[in-house]
Amino acid sequence: MNPWLALALIVLPAVLFACGTGLLAYAGLMLSTEVVAGLKRRLLRRVVLTTVGQETTIAWGNRRVALRPVDVLPALGGLALAAVWHSPVLSVWSALLGLAASVILRAARPQVTPGLRAEQELFLSALRSRYAVEQSLAAALDGAAADLGEAEGPLAHAVREAVRRLRIGQGLEQALVPLTTQGQTLRRLVTVLSKAPWSAAAETQTLLSELEEDARRKRRLADRARVTLSVVRLTLMILVGANVTAAVLAALLPAWRTHYVAHPATYLAGTGLALGGFAYFAFKIKALEERL
């Protein structure tokens, strides 16, 4: 056999195998890189922090969570209490209890505050006046947003976001979504504005006037009821403070500590009942405030 032919028969398969392996490795590397990049975009979305006053809004993808410093105090207290207990059951329960209390405290905070009610009334008045002149929903919203000035409240941010969405050409219903987070009155406003393109201008103007009057009436009623609700909320906070004090003493006093370590079910039942009572009355107060 020709020696060159023999060499070719030996070397050629090895070269082809090496080239094929290299191509497959490169393709696999590129594919895995794309997969990793896709997973990174999916799992590690951009997190945006926006602070307005004492409230920090965490935006992650399409989700938004608004937190205040006081919202995380129960969770931190639960972790501290978990470190004090040297019982696995009571430590885990204390951490979960603090986390649940933080979630309840955040969820039970009313969306509509006295300042927001005043801003709503100002916004509705400006929107009605602008719409009567402009006869254009986009122009009326833009003008009402300008009338809010440099306000940094949640309503001002929601209005500016709605105007921005309208300017980039989003549909009316999609553009007005930010306003739906600002209480029942603004949700009714979104319903009215969504029907504006198919309704007579006079009918829309009448509905806007009714909404403005309703917002004014609710603000006055809320102002009269604020003292009573403040007393009820203060009473609830005093009861919560008493329960928290009892839970801390149970972890620190030797006699109580020995008893609850030996009988953890009694501690779980007592603290769970206290948490349930706090949640019930906190949500009742929130519902009452938002109905006013």
Please write down the HEC assignment for all residues of 173-237.
HHHCHHHHHCCHHHHHHHHHHHHHHHCCHHHHHHHHHHHHHHHHHHHHHHHHHHHHHHHHHHHHH
Q: Which amino acid is at 263?
A: H
pLDDT score recorded for residue 242? 92
DSSP H/E element including 51: strand 47-52
The dihedral built from the CA positions of residue 197, 199, 203 and 206, taken in this order, carries a sign that is: negative
> Tokens standing for 69?
């410093």
Q: Cα–Cα distance between 67 and 65 in angstroms, integer?
A: 6
Query: Tokens 């829309």 belong to which residue?
Result: 204
Cβ–Cβ < 8 Å for 163, 127:
no
Q: Cα–Cα distance between 165 and 157 in angstroms, integer?
A: 12
For 149: left if phi > 0, alpha if psi spans -120 to 50, otherwise beta; the answer is left
Which residues are CB-neighbours of 234 under 8 A, at least 6 positions away? none
pLDDT score recorded for residue 97? 93
Helix (H, G, I), strand (E, B) or coil at 165: helix
User: Which residues partner with 55 through β-bridges?
Assistant: 52
> Tokens standing for 109?
């905070």
Sheet strand arrangement including 63-67: 47-52, 55-60, 63-67
| pLDDT tens-place values along the chain, 292 residues long | 565 555 555 656 655 655 655 555 555 545 555 555 555 555 555 555 555 555 566 555 555 566 677 888 899 999 999 999 888 899 999 999 999 999 998 888 876 666 667 777 778 888 888 777 776 777 777 777 777 765 566 777 778 888 888 878 777 777 888 887 777 777 887 887 777 666 666 777 777 788 778 777 877 777 777 778 788 888 989 999 999 999 999 999 999 999 999 998 999 999 999 999 999 998 988 887 777 6
Between CA 143 and CA 154, with CA 149 as vertex, the angle to 5 degrees is 95
pLDDT score recorded for residue 213? 81
pLDDT score recorded for residue 219? 76
Q: Cα–Cα distance between 82 and 62 in angstroms, integer?
A: 34
> Tokens standing for 211?
């909404």
pLDDT score recorded for residue 15? 57
Cβ–Cβ < 8 Å for 159, 145:
yes
Cβ–Cβ < 8 Å for 106, 67:
yes
**Torsion on CA atoms 70, 71, 74, 76, rounded to nearest 10:** -90
Q: How many residues does the chain have?
A: 292
pLDDT score recorded for residue 177? 81
Q: What is the pTM of this model?
A: 0.57
pLDDT score recorded for residue 33? 54
DSSP H/E element including 44: none
Q: Which amino acid is at 192?
A: V
